[in-house]
Amino acid sequence: MIKVVIAEDMDILRESLKYMIESDSEMQVVGLAHDGKEAYELCREHKADIVLMDLRMPGCDGLEGTRLIKASFPDKKVLILTTFEDEESISSAIQCGADGYITKDILPKQLQQSIKSVMMGLGIVKRNIMNSVVRNVNSTHQSDVSISALNLTDKEKTLIRLVVEGKSYKEMGKEICLSEGYVRNMVSELLIKLKMKDRIQLAVFAVKNKIIS
C-alpha cells in the first residue's frame, strides 16, 4: 500500500485529489495538509511514502516544504502538482529535491500512474515542459569527457531516448525487446556510467548534449 500525503491549500481540490487517489486500491491518503510545513509533519507522523505537493500555498509553500522533507527524509518522494509551468518554478522545484513535476490538468488515471512511477524511482516531468527543465536546471553533473568518448551503444542511445520520452520500464522493455528487469539494470548502469543520480538528470544531460535527435 502506497501511503500518500496531499499538500494543497484549497479544501475542495484537496478532497477531490483524495478521492481520485483512493479510487486506486493500491494507494491510501494518510494525511491532508494546508501547507508545506504541515505536509512535513504529517509525513513524519504517518510514515508516508510520497507527498503530492502544491507549489503556491500561504505560510510554508511547496518549495520550502520539499526542502524540509528531503532534508529529514531523503528517501521520501515528493511529486509537485501545480498549475504553474514557468521555467523558474520548474527548475526551483527540482533543485529543492522534487522527484517529479506534473500539472493540474492531468487526468485521474495519469495522476495515479505518476504516483506509482515516482515510487518506482522514475523521475516524472510532463513532456511538454521538459524543454524548460533542460534550459534552466543547473545539472550537478560535471563531465570531463566528450560525448563521443562516452562510447554509447545504439541500444543505450535508444534507452536514453525512451527515458527522455518518460516511458516506464515496461514500455521500454517492449520497444527494445528486453525484460523489464533487464531494462532497469541497464538504466542503473547508465546512471553509474554517467555519474548521475536519477532519470531526470539523465534526460536533461541527453537533451543538452544532443545525444538524442
Closest CA to 208 of 142, 151, 149, 156: 142
Domain boundary among 79, 105, 136: 136
Q: Which helix (H) or strand (E) holds 53?
A: strand 50-53
Place of cell 553533473: 141
Burial, 37: exposed, middle or buried (Cβ in 10 Å; 0-12, 13-18, 19+)? middle
Other C-beta atoms closer than 10 Å to the C-beta of 124 total 22
Alpha-carbon distance 54 to 57, whole Å? 7
**What are residue 31's phi and psi, to 5 degrees?**
-165, 145
Alpha-carbon distance 80 to 99, whole Å? 8
Do 110 and 194 lie in a common domain?
Answer: no
Alpha-carbon distance 62 to 34, whole Å? 10
Do 16 and 96 lie in a common domain?
Answer: yes
Domain boundary among 104, 136, 168: 136
Residue 142 inside a domain? The answer is: no
CB 5 within 8 A of CB 46: yes
Residue 119 inside a domain? The answer is: yes
Do 86 and 27 lie in a common domain?
Answer: yes
Alpha-carbon distance 213 to 96, whole Å? 29
Instruction: Determine the structural domain holding residue 92 and report its residue range.
Output: 2-136
Cell of 156: 543505450
CATH number of the domain bearing residue 82? 3.40.50.2300
Residues present in the chain in total? 213
Residue 10 inside a domain? The answer is: yes
pLDDT at position 121: 74
Other C-beta atoms closer than 10 Å to the C-beta of 151 total 9
Torsion of CA 78, 83, 85, 86, to 10 degrees: -100
Domain count, the chain: 2
Amino acid at 102: I
Do 182 and 117 lie in a common domain?
Answer: no
pLDDT at position 193: 85
Other C-beta atoms closer than 10 Å to the C-beta of 146 total 8
Do 129 and 85 lie in a common domain?
Answer: yes
pLDDT at position 143: 47
Do 69 and 110 lie in a common domain?
Answer: yes
Domain boundary among 136, 161, 184: 136
Do 96 and 172 lie in a common domain?
Answer: no
pLDDT at position 134: 54
Q: Which residues of the chain have pLDDT under 70?
A: 87, 122-149, 212-213
Answer positive or negative: Cα dihedral of 188, 190, 192, 196.
negative
- Give strand pairing partners of 5: 31, 51
Cell of 4: 500518500
CATH number of the domain bearing residue 166? 1.10.10.10
